[in-house]
Amino acid sequence: MSEKEREERMLVRKIEEGTVIDHIPDWKAETVAKVLRLDRLAKTQTGISVAILQNVNSKTLGRKDIVKIDKWHVDEKDADILSLVFPSITVNYVNEWKVSKYHPKVPDVIEGRIKCLEVLCITNAQREPVVPKFITLKRDRVLQCFYCDTMFDFDSVPDHVRT
């Protein structure tokens, strides 16, 4: 780690418990917050703080963003969804100051976390007890609704996260 990187890292203190999402493309941290619904998390869970570092030095990316979530472990499934949009991200789980790395992987099937782009899809029907489900077509970087077959790009996932 260079001196500059060390200085930037010091912009935000280390956390004892929580999650650090690293290698986010620069200026995309807010999209990460949106996909992870961090605003809702902060409203429903007490004691959670979020720090966003933007445009910091990165050996691999040139510039990058970092999101630190104090006292919250992001679900691996949510991290996997994030990797649809940002394949470069790494997730560091911090437990009692110890860090373990998680490399998110694009899942074959995504259930529940995203809504279908097709507004008329049965999964968007009010009161039907149906959970949205998508198949990932990795080579084409698209999701396909299991029910209505509608396809949309991985990149548009942040616009379809269920709130």
Partner 1 sequence: MGKDSDFLGRDILSIRDYKRDQLERLFHSVEDLEKSPNSLDGLLKGDLVALLFFEPSTRTYSSFQIAASTLGMQVTGFASPAGSSVSKGETLHDTIRMFEGYGTDCFVIRHPMPGAARYAAETTDKPIINAGDGSREHPTQAMIDLFAIRKAFGKLDGLKVGILGDLKYGRTASSLAYGLSNYDVEMTFIAPDALQMRPEVQHFLKQRGIISRSEKDLKNVVGELDVLYVTRIQKERIPDPTEFEKVKGMYQVNLETLKEAKPSLKVLHPLPRVDELATELDATNFADYFVQAATGLPLRMVLMSLVLGGGR
Q: Applying CB under 8 A, which of residues 88, 92, 150, 156 lies at the interface with partner 1?
A: 150
**Whole-number minimum distance, CB 14 to partner 1, in Å?**
46
Q: Are 9 and 81 in contact (CB under 8 A)?
A: no
Q: Where are the strands (E) in 32-159, listed by range? A: 49-58, 62-70, 90-95, 98-102, 109-111, 133-137, 142-145, 151-153
**Whole-number minimum distance, CB 130 to partner 1, in Å?**
5
Q: Which is nearer to partner 1, 47 or 129 (CB)?
A: 129
Q: Which is nearer to partner 1, 104 or 132 (CB)?
A: 132
Q: Are 69 and 48 in contact (CB under 8 A)?
A: yes
151 binds partner 1 (CB under 8 A): yes
d(CA 98, CA 81): 25
**Whole-number minimum distance, CB 148 to partner 1, in Å?**
3
Q: Which is nearer to partner 1, 46 or 126 (CB)?
A: 126
Q: Are 147 and 116 in contact (CB under 8 A)?
A: yes
- The amino acid that residue 134 corresponds to is F
59 binds partner 1 (CB under 8 A): no
| Nearest C-alpha neighbor of 23 from the set 56, 46, 1 | 56
CA 13 to chain centre: 22
How many chain residues interact with partner 1 (CB under 8 A)? 22
Convert residues 117-146 into a mask of x (bound to partner 1 by CB under 8 A) and - (unbound): -x-xxxx-x-xxxx------x--x-x-xxx
Q: Which is nearer to partner 1, 148 or 161 (CB)?
A: 148
- The amino acid that residue 108 corresponds to is D
109 binds partner 1 (CB under 8 A): no
The residues binding partner 1 (CB under 8 A) are 116, 118, 120-123, 125, 127-130, 137, 140, 142, 144-151
